[in-house]
């Protein structure tokens, strides 16, 4: 349940000291932390630490310790360079199986772009054959006493295949913080592409024998490149680096790597020079690089869960952590194909857009007949396209405002039909179904659905010369107040209840986002009913006065302290 939190637990990891009295470790070691303590090698005392910066995207965190005694006899490590293939590296940390420091030696097997397990983001990684076990995460990988990476994960169902975060990613993390006083993250062009390895395709796009590149198949509208690149352009080079037909660029020696590597050295808002071929004409364009944006978030660490319970209907925003909780680590193969398509390939058309799911229907007299409906996308409420949870909350408030509870909670009045009810109504503490005026945040965390232990320990990695402990704590909030107005008077407010980013043609743009959403013939003009249009051509209709009457009972029945997340209050 999104309103419940798992009990606190301890997680152990490693770390190392760098200049400026800072400690580096893995982001997954301190994810969801409420208390962090560190112990240096050879000292039994544990010192309180705090998180200064964390980059969950690259799985790196920076810690600080205020106690001066901790820094006595500690010397910072310096950074080296990315090692060559077959070169030796040494991993230092505190893996499970003992309390003392552990040193393992391995050989560099591969250097390439990999998908990081903690964030599902593709960045440069180094594969080694040294043993990296639980507890090693965050520990330094050394070569000639210089840090060339951070141990962070292993390959499931394989032996002696571990991965370290290369020094180039670490330096990008540190430089980003130095430039902006905070961590912004890595940037992308904002395009989708495919290789041009077919001779027919090369001839079709008028490429000469010397020209190589990749075909731009989609330009994402929310990125800066949308005004300069077009579908059908051939991307030939980035900052003078020639792109091969398979999408790789020269790395070093005889090694090649995906052209995303050329972007990993840049920062948000940096300008990138591109050479493209458009309809047989070669040209150069300057493109500003943007932060990666996803329709369905790949990770939601260190954020509280958002949810909305309306008359027993539980709504959440789709995220990849939610998919993992519902369908397991192999959710990409086990989950319904419609949800997988949205989670993996959904395109963000609006900055505030979310995929809203009816997560489950709480069994009660009010929801009889709907109990088996679960994990279906919500498209519209009473014909109004829904942008995100915040928008959904506003729409439901406007729809339910005309109905309120009098002094007798069993008597439901309609403000539009009973003028006396307007004179006697009072703002009462109640749930969203009876008209609360809260707002739901559109970017919150649903990982409380799953055990935090699973979230952290699924990534078999953690530690190095500093042992880190993290704990999580539960949270609680209070309800909000409500008001009532005439449904007719607020019909236009319902249309305007979407955030300002909708624009003047908001309804059209939202409908275009959800393909196939024409006017639903099942939407009948019944002002005392609320109509939910869902995926798989399903609908749910509820009698608003009945919903207002039974909602408090449903909340008590399922021990739900409040009908919405804290950010609604």
pLDDT tens readout for residues 103-141? 999 999 999 999 999 998 999 999 999 888 888 999 999
Which residues pair with residue 162 across a beta bridge? 128, 154
Report which listed range, 284-288, 432-436, 565-569, is most confident.
Answer: 284-288
Per-residue pLDDT, 169: 96
Instruction: Tell me if 441 is assigned to some domain.
Output: no
Average pLDDT of the chain to the nearest whole number: 80
pLDDT class of 569 with cuts at 50, 70, 90:
low
Number of domains the chain is built from:
3
Last residue in a domain, options 159, 184, 209: 184
Mean pLDDT confidence for 142-168: 91
Rounded Cα–Cα distance for residues 400 and 422 (Å) = 15
Are 215 and 194 in contact, with CB atoms under 8 Å apart?
A: yes
Catalytic residue, chosen from 102, 137, 506, 509, is 137
Please tell me which residue, 514 or 468, carries the higher pLDDT value: 514
* 28 is known as an active-site residue: yes
pLDDT tens readout for residues 263-291? 989 999 999 999 999 999 999 999 999 98
pLDDT surpassing 50 at residue 439: no
Rounded Cα–Cα distance for residues 205 and 197 (Å) = 12
Within its chain, how far is the Cα of 154 from the centroid?
A: 22
Q: Which two tokens stand for residue 387?
A: 């942008």
Phi/psi class of residue 144: alpha, beta or left (left: φ > 0; alpha: ψ in -120 to 50)? left
Same domain membership, residue 367 and residue 263: no
Per-residue pLDDT, 460: 38
Which residues pair with residue 271 across a beta bridge? 288
Per-residue pLDDT, 1: 63
Per-residue pLDDT, 4: 60
Give the domain range for residue 215: 187-291
Predicted structure pTM score: 0.77
Query: What b/e readout covers 10-20, taking b as 16+ CB neighbours within 10 angstroms?
Result: ebbbbbbbbee
pLDDT tens readout for residues 17-58? 999 999 999 999 999 888 999 999 888 899 999 999 999 999
Instruction: Tell me if 73 is assigned to some domain.
Output: yes
- Can you give the CATH number for the domain in which 169 is found? 2.40.10.120
* 489 is known as an active-site residue: no
Per-residue pLDDT, 454: 37
- Region of poorest pLDDT, from 104-108, 266-270, 345-349, 462-466: 462-466
pLDDT surpassing 60 at residue 244: yes
Same domain membership, residue 202 and residue 132: no
Are 509 and 410 in contact, with CB atoms under 8 Å apart?
A: no
Catalytic residue, chosen from 14, 28, 260, 535, is 28
HSE-up (13 A, CA, CB side) for residue 173: 24
Burial of 72 (0-12, 13-18, 19+ CB in 10 A): exposed
Per-residue pLDDT, 111: 94
Catalytic residue, chosen from 53, 59, 391, 566, is 59
* 137 is known as an active-site residue: yes
Whole-Å CA distances, 519 to 42, 213, 396, 399, 516: 70, 44, 19, 19, 9
Are 150 and 24 in contact, with CB atoms under 8 Å apart?
A: yes
pLDDT class of 423 with cuts at 50, 70, 90:
very low
- Can you give the CATH number for the domain in which 330 is found? 3.20.190.20
Q: How many Cβ atoms from other residues are within 10 Å of residue 151's Cβ?
A: 35
- Can you give the CATH number for the domain in which 262 is found? 2.30.42.10
Mean pLDDT confidence for 143-156: 92
């Amino acid at each position: 349940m999104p309103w419940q939190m798992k009990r606190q637990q301890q997680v152990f990891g490693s770390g190392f000291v760098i200049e400026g009295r800072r400690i580096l470790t893995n982001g997954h070691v301190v994810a969801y932390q409420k208390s962090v303590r560190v112990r240096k090698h050879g000292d039994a005392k544990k010192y309180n630490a705090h998180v200064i910066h964390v980059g969950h995207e690259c799985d790196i965190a920076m810690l600080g310790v205020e106690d001066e005694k901790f820094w006595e006899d500690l010397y910072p490590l310096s950074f080296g360079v990315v090692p060559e293939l077959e070169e030796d590296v040494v991993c230092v940390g505190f893996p499970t199986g003992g309390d003392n420091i552990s040193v393992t030696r391995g050989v560099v097997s591969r250097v390439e772009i990999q998908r990081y397990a903690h964030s599902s983001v593709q960045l440069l990684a180094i594969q080694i054959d040294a043993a990296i076990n639980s507890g090693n995460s965050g520990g330094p990988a050394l070569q000639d006493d210089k840090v060339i990476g951070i141990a962070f994960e292993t390959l499931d169902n394989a032996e002696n295949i571990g991965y370290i975060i290369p020094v180039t990613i670490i330096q990008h993390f540190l430089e980003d913080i130095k430039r902006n006083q905070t961590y912004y993250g890595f940037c992308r062009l904002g395009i989708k592409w495919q290789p041009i390895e077919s001779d027919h395709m090369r001839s079709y796009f008028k490429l000469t024998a010397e020209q190589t590149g990749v075909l731009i198949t989609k330009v994402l509208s929310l990125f800066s490149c949308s005004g300069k690149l077009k579908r059908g352009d051939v991307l030939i080079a980035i900052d003078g680096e020639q792109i091969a037909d398979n999408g790789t660029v020269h790395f070093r020696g005889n090694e090649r790597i995906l052209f995303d590597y050329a972007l990993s050295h840049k920062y948000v808002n940096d300008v990138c020079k591109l050479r493209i071929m458009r309809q047989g004409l070669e040209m150069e364009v300057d493109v500003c690089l943007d932060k990666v944006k996803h329709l369905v978030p790949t990770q939601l660490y260190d954020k509280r869960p958002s949810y909305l319970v309306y008359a027993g209907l539980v709504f959440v925003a789709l995220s990849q952590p939610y998919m993992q909780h519902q369908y397991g680590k192999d959710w990409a193969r086990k989950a319904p194909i419609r949800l997988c398509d949205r989670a993996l390939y959904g395109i963000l058309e609006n900055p505030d857009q979310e995929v809203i799911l009816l997560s489950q229907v709480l069994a009660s007299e009010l929801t009889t007949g709907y109990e088996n409906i679960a994990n279906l996308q919500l498209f519209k409420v009473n014909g109004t396209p829904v942008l995100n949870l915040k928008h959904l909350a506003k729409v439901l408030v406007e729809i339910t405002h005309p109905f309120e509870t009098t002094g007798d909670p069993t008597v439901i009045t309609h403000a539009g039909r009973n003028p006396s009810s307007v004179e006697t109504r009072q703002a009462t503490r109640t749930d969203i179904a009876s008209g609360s005026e809260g707002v739901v945040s559109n970017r919150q965390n649903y990982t409380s659905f799953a055990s935090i232990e699973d979230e952290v320990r699924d990534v078999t990695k953690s530690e190095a010369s500093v042992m880190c402990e993290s704990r999580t704590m539960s949270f609680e909030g209070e309800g909000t107040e409500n008001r009532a107005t005439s449904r007719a008077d607020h019909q236009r407010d319902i249309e305007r209840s979407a955030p300002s980013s909708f624009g003047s043609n908001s309804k059209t743009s939202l409908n275009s986002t959800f393909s196939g959403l024409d006017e639903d013939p099942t939407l009948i003009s019944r002002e005392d009913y609320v109509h939910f249009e869902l995926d798989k051509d399903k609908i749910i209709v509820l009698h608003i006065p009945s919903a207002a009457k039974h909602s408090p009972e449903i909340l008590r029945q399922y021990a739900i302290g409040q009908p919405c997340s804290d950010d609604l209050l």
